[in-house]
Amino acid sequence: MSVLPPRSIAVVLGTRPELVKLTELTRLLGPAAWIVHTGQHYDEDMSGRFLAELGLPRPTFLTGVGGQPRAVQISAALAQLDELFSRERPRAVVVQGDTNAALAGALAANARGVPLCHVEAGLRSHDRAMPEEHNRVLIDRLADVLCAATPENRDNLLAEGLPADRIRVTGNTVVEAVRAHLPGARDREALLAPLGIRPDGYVLATVHRPENTDDPAALRAVLAELTALARTLPVVLPLHPRTRARIEAAGLTEALDVLRVTAPLGYAEFLGLARHAALLVSDSGGVQEETTVLGRPLVVVRNSTERPEAMAEFATLVRPGPELGAAARERLDRGAALRDRLADLPSPFGDGMASRRIADLLARTAAPAAAPSAPARPVAA
Ligand code: UD1
Ligand code: UDP
């Protein structure tokens, strides 16, 4: 990576999962990486703590983005990124996933004619109600280097007419993130004790999607199923700030009394708890991938998923309501037999080398000799 000048690869991110999934790539890029954090996530629990825990270099922070409506998040970040890139033009821009921060980064690269690399390209839920589906389709259209995590993701891109020579199947960088940050057995034991839980004896749940939080009926249904499960075994619920706000607004805080509610957890802490959970219940994208590395069963509470690779064996997809409780109990009843089976299955999301492959692709895209042949696009004044 030493051929690339310092700060020549702009890594634009803004949320917790992007911090997790871009850490190893940033480390491999070394001084060439220039992290620009849009500030979409801004609480210490959702951002600052992750920067420190993951050992990321200090980012350039944008302002006026966090807590704003989607269009404002994208437009405020885009305007500031354009200003930054006009002063200090990167040789390539990297974005990951499907957040508003990622779309802003992609648009900013495109506007300045800077080659764009999309990590986790080609995911599709085909669910137009999700802002993420629109974000990822748009980013893939703009990207020059499409890093598909799986062959299925590559096929989605090909089916949309994207040229094969822009696409590489790299694996998902989350695999190396889990391997690097899962605490050792003794540290994991120490994480469980303060919560009064024992290995294989609790459920770990996360909920933050608008489809589960912004609709009070769906939120009530999810909480009702989790509280019913809590009659059988402890349910640990690290609360995303969006979910906390919606629970308070809907007057549902009482439902939290029987759950082991925590603030958002640090990454190693969360992985440690996930590793020993009898079951996870979640609407998270990253958790769908991580459970396949950890070999733990998952119930996904969503209308759709863009990660079908995890379904059937590792996870099952349900809507909020009694279906959730039934699927959870079915998986819990299969107990150790199911967990042993999952522990033996390889993750469909890669071999732990995705970040290395992406770093190599970036080295080729942004190498001095390659710069003149970068895709020619009109450059704004
Ligand atoms: C965003 C992403 C989603 C991703 C999730 C990861 C989009 C469209 N959505 O959803 O794909 O799965 O991040 O967690 O980009 N809030 C705080 N403090 C914070 C962050 C958020 O209080 O540090 C609250 C604010 O009220 C904010 C709300 O949560 O308005 C939602 O945050 P936002 O970043 O817009 O969406 P997420 O639900 O976090
Ligand atoms: N995560 C965490 N602490 C928590 C909950 C989740 O570190 O309390 C991690 C989780 O392991 C995964 C990432 O955050 O790597 C997922 O973030 P989130 O579910 O918010 O977003 P998504 O993956 O759905 O976009």
pLDDT per residue over 36-81, tens digit each?
999 999 999 999 999 999 999 999 999 999 999 999 999 999 999 9
- Judged against a pLDDT cut of 70, whether residue 374 lies above it is answered with no
How many other CB atoms are found less than 10 A from the CB of residue 214? Answer: 14
Tell me the average pLDDT across 77-105.
98
Token code pair at residue 139:
């980013």
Residue nearest to atom 17 of ligand 2 (CA): 17
Confidence check: pLDDT of 378 > 60:
no
The predicted structure's pLDDT at residue 369: 63
Region 345-355 average pLDDT: 97
Q: Percent of the chain having pLDDT more than 90?
A: 95
Rounded average pLDDT over 142-168: 98
**Average pLDDT, integer, range 204-208:** 98
Local confidence band at 380 (pLDDT 50, 70, 90 cut-offs)? very low
Distance separating alpha carbons of residues 236 and 300, to the nearest angstrom: 16
- The tens digit of pLDDT for each residue in 3-33 reads 899 999 999 999 999 999 999 999 999 999 9
> What are residue 280's phi and psi, to 5 degrees?
-110, 145
Mean pLDDT of 338-343: 95
| Sign of the Cα pseudo-torsion (178, 150, 296, 263, in order) | positive
Question: Is residue 115 predicted with pLDDT exceeding 60?
Answer: yes
Q: What is the spatial distance between Cα 258 and Cα 209, in angstroms, rounded to a whole number?
A: 22
Q: Is the pLDDT of residue 333 over 80?
A: yes
Give percent above pLDDT 70 in the chain.
96
**pTM score of the predicted model:** 0.96
Query: Mean pLDDT over residues 202-224, rounded?
Result: 97
Closest ligand to C-alpha of residue 300 is: 2
Confidence check: pLDDT of 375 > 90 = no
Q: What is the mean pLDDT of the chain?
A: 95
Confidence check: pLDDT of 209 > 70: yes
Separation of CA 40 and ligand 1 centre (Å): 7
CA pair distance 165, 162, nearest whole angstrom: 9
Pocket test for ligand 2, best of 130, 270, 302, 349 (most atoms within 8 A of CB): 270
**pLDDT value at position 376?**
43
Atom of ligand 2 nearest to the CA of 271: 11
Evaluate whether 285 touches 298 at the Cβ level (below 8 Å): no
- Could you give the domains of the chain? 9-173+352-366 (3.40.50.2000), 183-343 (3.40.50.2000)
**Would you state the pLDDT for residue 201?**
97
* Identity at 349, one-letter amino acid code: F
Which one of the listed residues 37, 118, 208, 276 is annotated catalytic?
208
Q: In a mutational test of the pocket of ligand 2, which residue from 284, 302, 304 has the highest number of ligand atoms less than 8 Å from its CB?
A: 284
Position in ligand 1 atom list of the atom nearest CA 17: 6
**Cα-to-centroid distance, 118 and ligand 1 (Å):** 20
Res 370 pLDDT > 90: no
pLDDT at 312: 79
208 lines ligand 2 (CB under 6 A): yes
Q: How far is the CA of 104 from the centre of ligand 2 (A)?
A: 21
Residue 39 near residue 66 (C-beta atoms within 8 A): yes
